[in-house]
Chains A and B, each alone.
Chain A
Amino acid sequence: MLSEMFSFPFMVNAYRAGTIVAVLAGAVGYLMVLRQQSFVGHTLSAVGFPGAAGALLLGLTAPLGYYAFCLVAALVISRVHHAERSAQAAVVGTVQAFALASGYLFVVLYKGVLSGTTALLFGSFLGITSTQVVVMAGVATVLLTALVILGRPLLFASLDPDAARAAGVPVALLDLLFLLLLGATAAGVVQITGSLMVFTLLVLPAAAARELSCRPGRALATSILIALLVTWTALAVAYSSPYPLGFWLSTLAFGTFLAAKAVSRVRA
Chain B
Amino acid sequence: MLTQPFMQHALLAGTPIALAAGLVGWFLVLRAQVFTADALSHVAFTGALAALAVGIDPRLGLFAITIAVGLALSGLGPRGQPDDTIIGGVFAWVLGLGVLFLSIYTSGSSGGNGTAAVAVLFGSVLGLSHDRALVAALIAVVCFLAMLALARPLLMASIDPRVAAARRLPVRLLGAAFLGVVATTAAEASQVVGALLILGLVTAPAATASRLSTHPYRAMALSCALAVGATWAGLFLSFYLPSTPPSFAILAVATAAFILTFAPWRHHAVLALVHGRRSEA
A residues near B (Cβ < 8 Å) are: 33, 36-39, 41-42, 46, 85-87, 89-94, 96-98, 100-102, 104-105, 108-109, 113-115, 117-118, 121-122, 196-197, 199-200, 203-204, 206-207, 210, 242-244, 246-251, 253-254, 257
By a CB distance below 8 angstroms, the chain B residues around A247 are 96-97, 99-100, 103
Q: Is the CB of A115 within 8 A of B114?
A: yes
Q: Is the CB of A97 within 8 A of B199?
A: yes
- B258 interface residue (CB < 8 Å to A): yes
The 10 A-B pairs of least Cβ separation, nearest first, read A250-B96, A97-B200, A90-B207, A93-B203, A254-B93, A247-B100, A101-B251, A38-B88, A246-B99, A89-B34
**What is the CA–CA distance of A179 and B194 in the complex, to the nearest angstrom?**
28
CB distance from A265 to the nearest CB of B (A): 14
For chain B, the bracket of interface size reads 35 or more
Q: Which of A42, A96, A122 contacts B102 (CB 8 A)?
A: A122
Q: Is the CB of B206 within 8 A of A90?
A: yes
Q: Tell me the residues in window 126-147 of chain B with beta carbons closer than 8 Å to chain A beta carbons.
A: none
Q: Is the CB of B122 within 8 A of A104?
A: yes
Q: Is the CB of B207 within 8 A of A33?
A: no
Secondary structure class of chain A's binding surface, majority of residues: helix
Q: Which of A33, A93, A197 contacts B95 (CB 8 A)?
A: A197
A97-B200, A104-B245 given; A203·B207 CB < 8 A: no
For the complex with contacts A104-B194, A207-B86, A247-B96, 8 further pairs of A-B residues with Cβ separation under 8 Å are A38-B35, A89-B29, A90-B203, A98-B200, A101-B251, A113-B115, A118-B102, A118-B117
Q: Is the CB of B121 within 8 A of A121?
A: yes
- B38 interface residue (CB < 8 Å to A): yes
With a 10 A CB-CB cut-off, give which of B97, B203, B245 has the most chain A CB atoms. B203
By a CB distance below 8 angstroms, the chain A residues around B203 are 89-90, 93-94, 97
